[in-house]
Structure 1
Amino acid sequence: MKIGLSISLLSFAIFSPSAKADITTPQVYVALGDSVAAGATPYESLDAGYADIIADTLSKNGLLAAFSKDFAVPGFAVNNIHDLLDEEEVRQSVSQATLITLSAGANNILGLVRQDAAGRTVMFDQLIANYTLNQMRIQYGELLDEILQINPDASIYAVGYYFPYPHVLSTQQQGVLKMLELVNDIIENEASKRDIAFIDAGADFDPDGLNYLPNPVDVHPNQQGYLSIANSFFDKAEPSLESTDNNIPPNPGMSPFLESLMPPSQSEDVTSPDQSGEMDPNLTDEGQGETQNEEPESNTEDAEEDSSLINESAARINYLYEPLFSNTLQHFLALKS
């Protein structure tokens, strides 16, 4: 449901301070964040995630007025989610929410980690990690401040992260485990400074992480893992509620807003690339296998600009979900420019 469709039907009573305590009235729920908030699967797709499960549980208990995870964007780091709040559609929805969950921070860090092809070893540069963690701390606080500025009355929940590398050899885990613990410490500390609740997503998730993260080289959980995160939310927000397998809804698909951020697909009349992704230089305009002696006409300057944009965008974000969404950020930046 689009957030704006039902907002006018709600009573302003739900904006009272009591909404920050128990969930006793129908909520306007907006999920912000990255691929974990969006419901990315271990196998390069999107499905129902923890936000969908929370929404379904609320709905079946008569506690949901509207729900949107349109603004949970795979690949986004903290500063990108902050930039997203400049969009009028996003600001309006956040301003109308009574319940907000935020998953942000992992993309700032996990891109520093390098795994081997089997997912058994990891490595990262500690000095770079220390600098990145400090930047993430500053940016996360600024993001929370912006959300509070837009909507000081909503119940906001800062969602932490689980340990995403349970398949890594135990001798390899300690360094990256400490780094992820620092990410959660930052989220919890910055949230606490602003009287925002922290959701310890890893508390119940990590003991069963091998089952919740079936793909050793992908950091996204299966739906049982998302179910665990949803119940960690209810443990904090409304202990009388619990999500079960019956609260895992059908795949909601990609939202129109998220689709608008994805790079447009190439039209069918453009010559298809070969398996390597490169155009065959021996094809003429008629598609015949003749070698061309002269360089075909092309806009070289545009190509160089596009390449520059890709490189600059890639440098600004470490993608948590690169296989499917590696171009999302650069397209978002292009739309804003």
Structure 2
Amino acid sequence: MVKQKILILIVSLLVVSFSLYFFLSDSNQTKPASVETKIMNEETDSNENTEQSLAEENQNSKETEREKEAVVEDVSVEMAKDEEKEKVDGESDKEDTKTEGIREKVKGVVEGVIKLFEKDLNVVAIGDSLTQGVGDETKNGGYVGILTNTFKENNLDISIENYGKRGNRTDQLLKRLEKKEIEASIQQADVVLITIGANDIMKVVKNNIMNLQVDQFDQAKTGYLERLTAILDKVNEINPDTKIYLIGFYNPFEHYFGDIKELQMIVNDWNASSEAVTEQFENVNYIPTSDLFSDSDIELLSKDQFHPNTSGYKLMAKRILENIDEVTVEPN
């Protein structure tokens, strides 16, 4: 009986010993694994932090580049996003909602009496955002709306159809001239007013924003002048009896790139070249506007600092009236 108890005790001790052995063995194997896992996690975190740091540097670099590119986004398409679309029910409702201050802003631009050499006059305005009237805080249609108000105040039977479209370049305007509606209007027009060219320059700036070179503008100007000539040819083809006025553009980059003096020289060069193209046609005249926006004592640009505000458009309208042959302004 005693031997049996001793045997049981020995077996129990062996079981306990083996259990302790396996327990300690598992514990020793687990600890290095835990340490190894911790080291791997730290290395992963370190790699992630390094990658995140590099990603942030790349992101900052890309954001800087995007900021420069954003400055020259096609204004006629993306630049005046803060403008609100005003819903109106007819011209009478629109007139009723105008304040006296707005009425004063859109009043005629001449002090005198405008007289027509003909009984009535049909005018068609085509081109980019300057014709559309983008930037005019009164939502009156820019220089076209101001001209219309001026004619009404002087009891003149002059109608103006506005086909200005924000963002238009010479290639796009040339294509739009094939539209039946525009073609039909030009066929009946006594006068065609055109603003075009600023977005052609804008395209050069946008495509080469990180490395602008003067020769890039010179190369682009060749194509621009060819398309401008094609536009004037097309209008004459539609209506050989109409009178065409090409309205020059001002430096739209002065606010954003005022430190780049070459841009003003480029704008002047493109305007001079545009005027030279008009001189090839007997029925085409050039009307400059760049000087109107230089060194002004009053703010002439809208909130986007790219398009004219109402005051800027009034100066343009006045300049146009002073240069078209179909009307004359006489003192009161």
Q: Normalised by the size of structure 1, how large is the TM-score? A: 0.57
Q: Deviations over 1:128-181 (max 9, x none)?
A: 2111111101100010010011111112110001222343575x2421001111
Verify the 8 A CA contact 2:170 2:228 in the aligned structure 1.
yes
Match of 2:197 in 1: 105
| Equivalent residue in structure 2 for 1:190, among 277, 282, 291 | 277
Q: Is 1:202 the equivalent of 2:296?
A: no
Q: Report the CA distance between 1:241 and its aligned residue.
A: 3.3
Distance in 2, Cα, partners of 1:219 & 1:127? 24
Q: Report the CA distance between 1:123 and its aligned residue.
A: 6.9
Match of 1:80 in 2: 172
Distance in 2, Cα, partners of 1:240 & 1:91? 28
The code of the aligned residue for 1:83 comes to K
Match of 2:48 in 1: none
Match of 2:185 in 1: 93
The code of the aligned residue for 2:214 comes to Q
Q: Is 1:158 the equivalent of 2:236?
A: no
Q: Is 1:33 the equivalent of 2:127?
A: yes
Pair 1:241–1:205, CA change in 2 (3 A): farther
RMSD between aligned residues: 2.9
How many residues matched?
213
Distance in 1, Cα, partners of 2:328 & 2:309? 25
Identity rate of aligned residues, in percent?
22
Match of 1:326 in 2: none
Q: Secondary structure at the match of 2:329?
A: coil
Match of 1:271 in 2: none
Distance in 1, Cα, partners of 2:199 & 2:297? 19
Verify the 8 A CA contact 2:143 2:314 in the aligned structure 1.
yes
Structure with greater proportional helix content? 2
Verify the 8 A CA contact 1:42 1:218 in the aligned structure 2.
no
Q: Map 1:258-337 onto structure 2 (within 5 A).
A: none
| Equivalent residue in structure 2 for 1:62, among 155, 168, 191 | 155
Distance in 1, Cα, partners of 2:235 & 2:322? 23
Distance in 1, Cα, partners of 2:224 & 2:130? 17
The code of the aligned residue for 1:192 comes to E
Pair 1:240–1:66, CA change in 2 (3 A): closer
Q: Report the CA distance between 1:122 and its aligned residue.
A: 9.8
Pair 1:225–1:122, CA change in 2 (3 A): farther
Q: Which moved more, 1:55-64 or 1:151-160?
A: 55-64
Q: Which moved more, 1:88-97 or 1:186-195?
A: 186-195
Distance in 2, Cα, partners of 1:174 & 1:190? 25
Match of 2:317 in 1: 230
Q: Secondary structure at the match of 2:295?
A: helix
Point out where structure 2 has 5 or more consecutive residues left out of the alignment.
1-89, 91-114
Pair 1:68–1:124, CA change in 2 (3 A): same
Q: Deviations over 1:62-94 (max 9, x none)?
A: 33342210x211111011111111111110001
The code of the aligned residue for 2:212 comes to F
Q: Deviations over 1:292-317 (max 9, x none)?
A: xxxxxxxxxxxxxxxxxxxxxxxxxx
Pair 1:134–1:36, CA change in 2 (3 A): same
| Equivalent residue in structure 1 for 2:143, among 25, 36, 50 | 50
Q: Is 1:174 the equivalent of 2:242?
A: no
Q: Secondary structure at the match of 1:211?
A: coil
Verify the 8 A CA contact 1:29 1:55 in the aligned structure 2.
no
Which is higher, the Rg of structure 1 or of structure 2? 2
Q: Secondary structure at the match of 1:207?
A: coil
Pair 1:152–1:236, CA change in 2 (3 A): same
| Equivalent residue in structure 1 for 2:236, among 131, 145, 148 | 148
Q: Secondary structure at the match of 2:204?
A: coil
Q: Secondary structure at the match of 1:56?
A: helix
Q: Is 1:212 the equivalent of 2:295?
A: no
Distance in 2, Cα, partners of 1:109 & 1:209? 26
The code of the aligned residue for 1:218 comes to Q
Pair 1:42–1:234, CA change in 2 (3 A): closer
Q: Secondary structure at the match of 1:193?
A: coil
Verify the 8 A CA contact 1:38 1:46 in the aligned structure 2.
no
The code of the aligned residue for 2:316 comes to I
Q: Report the CA distance between 1:35 and its aligned residue.
A: 0.3
Q: Deviations over 1:75-124 (max 9, x none)?
A: 1101111111111111000110111100011111123336xxxxxx9973
Distance in 1, Cα, partners of 2:210 & 2:266? 12
Verify the 8 A CA contact 2:246 2:278 in the aligned structure 1.
yes
